[in-house]
Amino acid sequence: MDAFYNLAQGFVTAATPANLLMCLLGVLLGQIIGVLPGIGPSAAIALLLPLTFGSSPTGAIIMFAGLYYGAQYGGTLTSVLINVPGESTSVMTAIDGHEMAKQGRAGVALGIAAIGSFIAGTLGTLGLMLLAPLLAFAALAFGPPEYFALVALGLTALAAVGGSVLKGLATGVAGLIIGSIGIDPQVGVPRFTFDQMWLFDGVDFIILAVALFGLGEVLATTGMPAVKPILNIGRVLPNRQEWRQARLAILRGTGVGFFIGILPAAGATIASFVGYIIEKKVAKDPSRFGKGAIEGVAGPESANNAASAGAMVPMFSLGVPGSNTTAVMLGALIMFGLRPGPEMFTTNSSLVWAVIASMYIGNLILLLMNLPLASLFARMLQIPYSWIYPPILAICLTGAIANANSVEDAWVMLGFGVLGWLMKRYDWPAAPMVLGLVLGPLFENTLRQSLTLSHGSGMIFLSRPISAGLLAAAVLAIAVPAITALILRQRQISLPGT
């Protein structure tokens, strides 16, 4: 019952006018960012960080969380109306959602997505509320070897999510390398600063996140052709038959999405894929899928929203993010002087519970906002990208300078922006690099502490059951996709012409 008492306290904090405003602002910005191309929730949170300096961390994290799940709603609009997913989590929604729009049922697709997202987001938050404290309690027994193994799992799992495990691992290790610039956290001497004073503090995670997710994304998207949206929204509430078809899909999507979301780095994208596949498997007539089946929208949309709540479980309870955006949120928490992990539930209990409570409020705001305002948000899709990206660039530039009142940081952002553009161009994932930078000091400290404890023996990681289990999971996270890719390639070789 502690969880419900704490939740009630959380509602008291979340319901203050200032925090309600932050929640509203977060979900509204998230909705807009989900609709606009060239900027995702990760970049948006990184850009908003300078604006939150000096404000209450609770309000800021409430806004960031709102932005995160609000963007999931926004991404649906572009999937349904122009067949271009605003976020990778909405890729599966586009398949049947856009077909529904072409049949004049865009409103119903958006309506069921909003209703499904609300149910999934609310139930997912309930799961977060019940599971995260339990996990945090278990993690209180963690020592340096367990933390090292946990960070290793977070990095490898996030690296393995993208198209290429090798590229994901390379960018993750490059992030760890960038994270080692500056003062050695254990002995206090400068390293890898190359006699440059401005490198003594290391590379700021905001600069890297803005450069990779903001500038890099803009550069990669500048040549994007305009797509004409379907603006005939029609009715948004599903009729009785449509509701009957969608309701179980929503519940299945919620369950599968939440549990995939809590796996470190598995994330909402995979959840939406699995949500769609399950719906197609259980359907009496799978041939309807791809031709405007409402379950093809309800399942993946519920799954990706439940996964957003699920991804907060490892972030709050273990300090390991479950998605790209929670990786940036983790950096934000560290910037506010908080240490995400098991202690969060004891040392910053009011913040955690206020954020959880705000997620119930935010999901309700999104439902109320999306049903009547779907056509208004749809009109935003008519704004040409040529009017959108220059202000995004100006915000990136201002955010970089404002972070430390330094023009040098703008040059650093430009340099990493070029890297981000090349990475985006060749499909190298950026999130592992940011996570490597954020978790680098913890990774190195716990490795060095563990080796000191064991008198230099690496067996300490294998002789302790939790760290051994986590490292085994890290190895599996790399091995499973690599072996799967190898098998698929072998099949292609043995079946020429297929």
Partner 1 sequence: MHIRFGQGEVILALLFAALGILWIATAFGMPFWQGFAPQSGFVPFWYGVILVGLSAAIVVNLVRQTEAAAEPPIGKPLIVLAALAGGILGLDLAGFGPSVFLLLLFLFAVVERLPVARSAAVAAATTAVLLLIFKAWLRIPLPTGPLGI
- Where on the chain is the footprint of partner 1 (CB under 8 A)? 50-51, 53-54, 164, 166-167, 169-170, 173-174, 176-177, 180, 184, 186-187, 189, 191-192, 215, 218-220, 222-223, 386-387, 389-391, 393-395, 397-398, 401-402, 405, 407, 410-411, 414, 417-419, 421-423, 425-426, 428, 444, 447-448, 451-452, 455-456
Q: Looking at beta carbons only, is 50 or 143 nearer to partner 1?
A: 50
Shortest reach from residue 73's CB to partner 1, in Å: 25
Q: Which 8-state DSSP code applies to residue 215?
A: I
- Cβ nearer to partner 1, comparing 167 with 247: 167
Kindly report the CA angle at 363 between 362 and 367, in degrees rounded to 5? 115
Residue among 3 and 199 whose Cβ is closer to partner 1: 199
* Residue 328 C-beta: closest distance to partner 1, Å: 20
Which residue, 345 or 421, is less far from partner 1 as judged by CB? 421
Q: How far apart are CA 304 and CA 266, in angstroms?
A: 11
Residue placing its CB nearer to partner 1 in the complex, 313 or 431: 431
Residue with Cβ nearer partner 1 (200 or 411): 411
Query: Of 222 and 232, which CB lies nearer to partner 1 in the complex structure?
Result: 222
φ/ψ of 266, rounded to 5, equals -65, -45
**331/417 with CB nearer partner 1:** 417
Q: How far is the CB of 472 from partner 1 (least distance, A)?
A: 19
Contact (Cβ atoms closer than 8 angstroms) between residue 310 and residue 259: yes
Shortest distance in whole angstroms from residue 422 CB to partner 1: 5
Distance between CA atoms of residues 75 and 26, nearest Å: 15
Type of residue at 490: Q
**Calpha distance 277→449 (Å, rounded):** 44
What are the DSSP calls for 123-149, one per residue? HHHHHHHHHHHHHHHHHTT--HHHHHH
Burial class (CB in 10 A: 0-12, 13-18, 19+), 478: middle
Which residues face 190 on adjacent strands? 183
Q: How far apart are CB 266 and partner 1 at their closest, in Å?
A: 22
Pair 34, 28: CB distance under 8 Å? no
Which residue matches tokens 């089946």?
293
Give the shortest CB-222-to-partner 1 separation in angstroms.
5
- Residue 161 or 419 having the CB closest to partner 1: 419
In the chain the first and final C-alpha atoms are separated, in Å, by: 58
**Which residues, in sequence order, are bridge partners of residue 183?**
190
User: What is the b/e burial string over 414-430, where b = at least 16 CB atoms within 10 angstroms of the residue's CB?
Assistant: eebbebbbebbeeebbb
Spatial separation of the C-alpha atoms in residues 190 and 52, rounded to whole Å: 30
Minimum Å gap between C-beta 220 and partner 1 is 7
222 versus 350: smaller Cβ distance to partner 1: 222
How far apart are CB 396 and partner 1 at their closest, in Å? 9
**197-218: string of b/e by CB count within 10 Å (b at 16+)?**
eebeebbbbbbbbbbbbbbbbb
Helix (H, G, I), strand (E, B) or coil at 182: strand
Q: How many helices (H) and strands (E) would you count in the chain? A: 21, 2
Provide, rounded to whole angstroms, the least separation between the CB of residue 197 and partner 1. 17
Q: Mapping DSSP to helix (H, G, I), strand (E, B) and coil, where does residue 286 land?
A: helix
CB of 412 to partner 1, least distance (A): 10
